[in-house]
Amino acid sequence: MITDPDVYTRGVPYEHLAALRRESPVVRVDDFWAVLRHSDVKHVLKNPKLFSSHLGGTQIRDPATEQDLGYVRRMMLNMDPPEHARLRGLLTKAFTPLAVARLTERIQGWARELIAGVRADGECDFAAVAADLPLLTLAEVFGIPERDRRLMYDWSNRVIGYQDADYAVSATVDADEVTDLARAALAVRPVPGPDGSMPDPRTRAGMPDLYAYATALGEYKRRNPGEDVMSNLMGHVEDGGRVSIAEFENLFWLFSVAGNETLRNGIPGGMQALLSHPDQYRRLLADRSLLPGAVEEMLRWWTPVMHFRRTATEDVVLSDVDIRAGEKVVVWFSAANRDETVFEDPDRFDIGRAPNDHLTFGHGPHFCLGAQLARVQLRAMFEAVLDQLGEVEPAGAPVRLRSNFQNGLKSLPIRW
């Protein structure tokens, strides 16, 4: 049940996850071990020597071929120390508190503009409005021309939403509105086959437009370096090969897809939490000092990324369960974030919840680099909503993403 993407179009099966956790905190599902308890999830994530990201990648579904596995292993997300630490160390300065503070005012301005743009309408699809804030932010941080930011929207739809018929074929970018770099990439964008299917987006061949753009952007940054992350990485490609071209291109993939999609679903997910609990919405409206805590509770209660895989490197015992070397071990954040041994009344949305040791950004060496940047964007968007729209209410039924990986909303109609 927990792997059926159709289930998630109706909502995350929290009751089923809780029942499984009560049965055993580590339970066999299909061809993997699901890790459902908060403490066990932490243990797996902080021990890459026992539970590897590299051996089989970080998705439940195995890559189709050894060549495809080799491709995903070149991404930082699918690396173990020391290779993971080498790449991560080159990126950290873009996400220091000082770097995030320098961006905060711009992010707040973008959020105000996005909400001001719909305020007079009296209603909007909040999921569509919210989607632009992470795109604007990523374009700024990584040195992508602002006109090209919607490329990231389509790429993340195709990769994260491959189980959803609408998202798998996402192609919203108008070639007349983007740069020459983007137009060249769009020329090789794949189209659905006769049966409507698309190539596997986890392969290089399945995302030729993304890689064409990454290659062209890298060459542009080599000739015209700036202060952005992509220029910094290209400098390391040039400087003795500390970063390979393949690593540069795969980091671009990671930023464009993972850096966008999590927050893009986290913002409307936070709104859905407030809409489902109008008492908490009014509490926040009356006391803005609660906003930082409210953001943490949104992240816990919604949990955009529902799971990640590791692979056991040797025989190991986890919560009295014997796991063999080579077996898949999947940490289930949606379950861990509602573990009743850590969170009192875990299904309750409480913007004053403290402490709030959620695992939405992961744990251990792969803890999300952009966590603070994500928090700034969430606070900025909800500050803008509270200031300009006041209390909002549902204007129709939300439409959920068909995915067993990303807890997503394709549409969230609201009015005020």
- Report angle CA 130, 132, 138 to the nearest 5 degrees: 120
CATH number of 7-415: 1.10.630.10
Ordered mean pLDDT values, 10 residues apiece, the chain (416 residues):
95 97 96 98 98 96 88 91 91 87 96 98 97 94 93 93 92 94 95 89 90 93 90 81 83 86 93 98 97 98 97 98 98 98 97 98 95 96 98 97 96 98
Whole-number Å distance between alpha carbons of 14 and 20: 10
Nearest to 129 by CA among 300, 382, 404: 382
Q: What is the pLDDT of residue 29?
A: 96
Q: Can you give the pLDDT at residue 240?
A: 65
In this prediction, residue 239 carries a pLDDT of 64
How large is the angle between the packed helices 245-276 and 371-388, nearest 10 degrees? 40
Closest residue by Cα to residue 304 from 412, 200, 401: 401
* Secondary structure (3-state) at 31: coil
What pLDDT, in 10s, does the model give residues 138-193?
999 999 999 999 999 999 999 989 999 999 999 999 999 999 999 999 999 999 98
pTM for the whole thing? 0.95
**pLDDT digit string (tens) for 328-383?**
999 999 999 999 999 999 999 999 999 999 999 999 999 999 999 999 999 999 99
Cis peptide before 225 (omega within 30 of 0): no
- SS3 category, 229: helix
